Chains A and B, each alone.
Chain A
Amino acid sequence: MSSLTDLLDVRAGEDAHLVLRRVSVLDPVAGIEGVHDLVIRDGRIAELAAPGEADEDGAEVLEAEGLHAFPAFFDPHVHLRTPGHEHKEDVETGTRAAAAGGYCGILAMANTEPPVSTAADISALREQARAGASVPVGFLATVTRGMKGEELTEMVDLREAGAIGFSDDGLPIVSSRVMLRALQYQRLCGGTIALHEEDPDLSGDGVMHEGPVSAAVGLAGIPSVSESTMIARDAALAAYEGARIHVQHLSAAESVEVVRAAKAAGVKISAEASPHHLCLTDEEVRSLDPNRFKMNPPLRRESDRQALIAALRDGTIECIATDHAPHQAEEKEVPFEQAAMGVTGLETAFAALHTELVLPGTIDLGLLVERLAGGAAPFGIERPTLAPGSEANVALCDLAAEWTVGEDGYESRSQNSWCAGRTLTGRVLVTVAAGQVAYRLRSFSLGVAS
């Protein structure tokens, strides 16, 4: 395991000096729960002092009674659209959105234009991150050249240039032979291979989940088995090669079963689920609104959603990943079948899941906090923690704050949030990432209460 900033890049800034007074601290993995003065000095967690007892010592003091401090979140699945589609998102706007969502680290997918397939591509992106990233960002490279699914990229070279891992996300690796070669070659270079699992033959021209709703609205369906059969294939190949794979955006109950069985059999496999798959079902598609409800994999049935939640609880799914996929209005203000796939999620993940899953009692707060930071470990990165002595990565949240998504605009350059117009309960007020204050909610100023 490497620390966050060993592998990821961020714009250099001032180390944070903060005292969060009387804050409710919750870090279930480190076994920390209780009201403390959380002291951040020189960008590190200096101390969890008794409430009201910490010295100011020149630090900014925030009266945080009633607020919560969590280890900041880690998103292993973000589309920064750079290079090539900077009109949708870039490193600066995407990491600002991440900071606003309480994230201290994100991994950017490689399906850009051109795709991130060479060491030079990685180096250029890392330079951009050091110039303008609000939170540490790591870059994945494609598994195959140009994402064509035919030849492997120079994986050793890419790893030396700093690629965190590999993914052709956006497209599946259709050829079993190419998949097997990539898994074999991983022994040489390391780096988790993250997989968008889909059989394009089964998906066909589908645009939503295949089931009663697609039958009712006359949209072509993407069957659940399009996902689960490919996961089963790749789990078998990973077992055969002893390789390490990460399954992206699980959506179907059948897929959960495959991952659970593979884990039980000892396959080195991890899995993520997205907030929209955990909160929504294909019933939303009856609205025929592609801006909020068209994505791949598609929203599925309530039974699938329940299977994802159960997997989140039992650890079959170890992390929540937003699959933040920005698109401009021109690509979304068209009929459903013509619209681009994907929704944004960085700014709303915590609030949406807190509102939809924690407040109704479906999962508890500790589990949500644990899973929102669970995306680091599958890529060999240390999980953010509030344990004294560690680098400060903190999300300060107001669990009672209500806000309407989109009302004050977005940090992201795009507006295709699946939460647009929803009123959510719970809001990130301050994010400390890699020891620096990465975000403060505008209406919330530090120091006034001290």
Chain B
Amino acid sequence: MKHLLAIDGLSRDEIEAILDRAESFAEVGRRDIKKVPTLRGRTVVTLFYESSTRTSSSFELAAKRLSADLVSVKAAGSSVDKGESLKDTVATLSAYDPAAIVIRHPYAGAAQMVAGWTAAAVINAGDGKHEHPSQALLDVYTLRRRLGSLDGKRIWIVGDVLHSRVARSNLIAFQRMGAEVTVCGPPTLIPRGIEELGCEVSHSLERLGEADVVYALRMQQERMSESFVPSLREYAATFQIDTRRLNPRQLLMHPGPVNRGVELSGEAIDSPQSLIAEQVAAGLVVRMAILYELLAGSERPAPVSDDEPSPTPIGQPA
């Protein structure tokens, strides 16, 4: 694996290799000295065109725990503010010969394009509404630790699927790991044709009881003004996950940040079946594992994939 651009295109073996690696880093995290020398002398650049707390901080800490030199670039206050194109920014940063560039961008396909312009390994930390592969990997990691395996498990992804890159990456990742996925939300927030990805579609929480795992998505304020929902009150009344709708054997997840009282009730967030804090902790070890697999894992034999190959970066010969 040269880049991590999308979950789509990763085989189950490739996903499991990263999760297994993450397990070993979890063990390191329990030691007093949590740092390993793997990436000493190598440079990791994080390039964030969108605000982010947990993704950027966990990638940065992951790079530091692996002893890499870290350069963090935020679009605000950088040359991007001065009108520099993505291509030129990448060329500039590539002059430092980084081993990896971690990029978050508001538009789909940005990470894939960057991969065509640099020799560095490119990690997609979220591109528009397309994919957020490291989130999906940490979610699968969290679930695997709790459930042992996702095979045959039923997972409901509830909320604003239309605008969610997390929903897309997780849908693919959960299915690849053997789970059955249902997406649920108002028809205005479920993308037309998503059932062709192999999931079920529901517009009601009536059958929520069949789920082993409920994965709630963030509901943004501005969706009201765009007529996707009439009000957050009505949304919450119809689709909020609360302890009344959740039964005690179900697990609850959320990518954060949560709108307390909108997609989730406060009680549900703080309930013992909520994995939200575990997800954040998993973020660090899984992102260490991703950096390790891409930058130091080359001595391992490449897993054979029977799925389609990962996409060719735009700007490189196919």
Contact = CB atoms under 8 A, between A and B. Distances in A.
Interface in B270-318: 311-312, 314-315, 318
A254 interface: no
A356 to B, nearest CB: 18
A425 B82 CA distance: 46
Contacts of A261: none
Interface string B6-41: 001000000000000000000000000000000000
A418 to B, nearest CB: 14
Interface in B62-93: 85-87
Contact of B128 (A216, A221, A337): A337
Interface residues of A, number: 27
Contact of A215 (B87, B191, B311): B191
Interface residues of B, number: 29
Nearest to A213: B193
Contacts of A379: none
Nearest to A301: B193
Contacts of A215: 191-194, 196-197
Contacts of B113: 288, 333-335
A334 B314 contact: no
A266 interface: no
A336 B197 CA distance: 21
A274 B156 CA distance: 42
Interface in B185-218: 191-194, 196-197
A217 B124 CA distance: 14
A218 B108 contact: yes
B104 interface: no
Interface in A197-217: 210-217
B254 interface: no
B87 A288 contact: no
B109 A336 contact: yes
B314 A288 contact: yes
A337 B113 CA distance: 13
B184 to A, nearest CB: 15
B107 interface: yes
A335 B105 contact: yes
Most buried by B among A210, A213, A334: A334
A337 B127 CA distance: 11
Contacts of A287: 311-312, 314
Q: Which one of A218, A287, A333 has the highest number of Cβ atoms from chain B below 10 Å of its Cβ? A: A218
B110 interface: yes
Contact of B194 (A212, A289, A334): A212
Contacts of B192: 210-212, 214-215, 221, 223
11 contacts: A212-B193, A212-B197, A214-B191, A219-B129, A220-B129, A221-B191, A288-B311, A289-B314, A333-B315, A335-B86, A336-B107
